[in-house]
Amino acid sequence: MSARDTDWDGVRLHVVTGKGGTGKTTVAAALALALAAGGRKVLLVEVEGRQGIAQLFDCPPLPYEERRVAVAPDGGDVHALAVDTEEALIEYLEMFYNLKRAGKAMTKLGIVDFVTTIAPGLRDVILTGKTSESVRRKKKDGSFVYDAVVMDAPPTGRITKFLNVNDEVSGLAKVGPVRNHADTVMKVVRSPETAVHFVTLLEEMPVQETMDGIRDLTAVGLPVGGVIVNMEHQPVLTEDDLAVAAAGALDTDEIVRGVKAAGLEHDAEAIAAVLAGEAVDHARRTALQRREKERLDSVDRPRYTLPQLSDGMDLAGLYDLAAALRDQGAA
């Protein structure tokens, strides 16, 4: 597979969303690494102010500026930007109203918080606008500064409202800079160059939110990308053993004999009981994962699977996830 032979050729803005706890920030970072592999330059944007990107790449908290945070396999670069809403609003005022000095005064008076509270649609326009500007930005020779941009976006329950900024600003402005800016953002968001990817676990609620989110995006004409199943647990028992464990029919005497054969004579019965309980839990989780996979089969979108990392998440694990995404054609 070549660096360009992926499911998302032509896509330059990858929006990553998912229910809280599914690992969407981790997946967004891994996707950025995967896209950058082979000498490409990718920007990873964080819009929720949690500094999750800095933690993943083991670097100090990110300032409101683009800076390199990682080197991808085969020489690519990942840059990151943690969007600060207050700074972005001041930048916005300066760009469209030449009010930078007034903007700084506004922050001291708390008016920035007031504006973004009474008009949350404006906040979303600013955040999505900053990202779409990065997608459009070009060098003097006419080439794009970034080959791709990955946005670690808000959770699934808010993603449609967050991206559909035209509806959000309809009550704020019919004409003028705000409206023009929103229209420019929507041209990027609705274009074939954008894909919104959903991160899920193989559990009932995340899968349901994923399916609901895909339905909602489709209803308003926003581009749905792929479904990324994160932290899948691989079965460690045979099919026969899984069936026996799920039925609660494990031969505990046999387990006790196995424990003793392993040299654990002391408390063998207690150890066997714990192992039997683990086997039952594993069988139930495996059955749950299979059921949720079947539900996802009804979603006609590319699907990628990332494993549960046995050693936990660290920088090396992030590169492993990036490799898995590339191997499956996601980048």
Is 6 part of any domain? no
Model confidence at 287: pLDDT above 80? yes
Residue 195 lies in a domain: yes
Count: domains in the chain? 2
**Residue 59 tokens, joined:** 């670097």
Which tens digits make up the pLDDT trace of 296-329?
999 999 999 999 887 778 899 999 999 999 999 9
The stretch 68-73 carries a mean pLDDT of 94
Using the predicted structure, report yes or no on whether residue 105 has a pLDDT greater than 80. no
Query: What string of H, E and C letters represents the secondary structure of 1-47?
Result: CCCCCCCCCCCCEEEEEECCCCCHHHHHHHHHHHHHCCCCEEEEEEC
Residue 264 reports pLDDT greater than 90? no
Whether residue 221 is found in the same domain as residue 186: yes
In a domain, 7, yes or no: no
Instruction: Answer yes or no: do 94 and 135 share one domain.
Output: yes
In a domain, 3, yes or no: no
For the chain, give the mean pLDDT. 87
Banded model confidence at residue 45, pLDDT cuts 50, 70, 90 = very high
| Residue 205 shares a structural domain with residue 246 | no
Residue 46 belongs to some domain of the structure:
yes
CATH of the domain at 174: 3.40.50.300
The string of pLDDT tens digits covering residues 178-196 is: 777 788 888 999 999 999 9
Other Cβ atoms within 10 Å of 290 Cβ, number: 12
Are both 20 and 162 inside the same structural domain? yes
Measured CA to CA, the distance from residue 6 to residue 238 in angstroms comes to: 34
Check: CB of residue 153 under 8 Å from CB of residue 159: yes
For residue 1, what pLDDT is reported? 33
**240/162 same-domain check:** no
What does the pLDDT average to over 25-34? 97
Tell me the mean pLDDT in the region 159-185.
74
The secondary structure of the chain in percent helix, strand, coil, rounded to multiples of 5, reads 50, 15, 35
Given a cut of 70, whether residue 120 has pLDDT beyond it is: no
Question: CA triplet 127, 132, 136: central angle to 5 degrees?
Answer: 150
| Per-residue model confidence (pLDDT) at position 106 | 64
Distance between CA atoms of residues 49 and 250, nearest Å: 49
Is it the case that residue 175 has pLDDT exceeding 60? no
285 plus 181 within the same structural domain = no
Question: What is the mean predicted confidence (pLDDT) over 136-158?
Answer: 96
Q: Do the domain assignments include residue 8?
A: no
Instruction: Look at residue 121 and tell me if it is in a domain.
Output: yes
Domain holding 103, by residue range, is 13-233+308-326
Residues 137 and 226 in one domain: yes
224 and 121, same structural domain?
yes
Q: Name the nearest CA neighbour of 54 among 152, 128, 132, 122.
A: 152
248 and 136 in a single domain? The answer is no
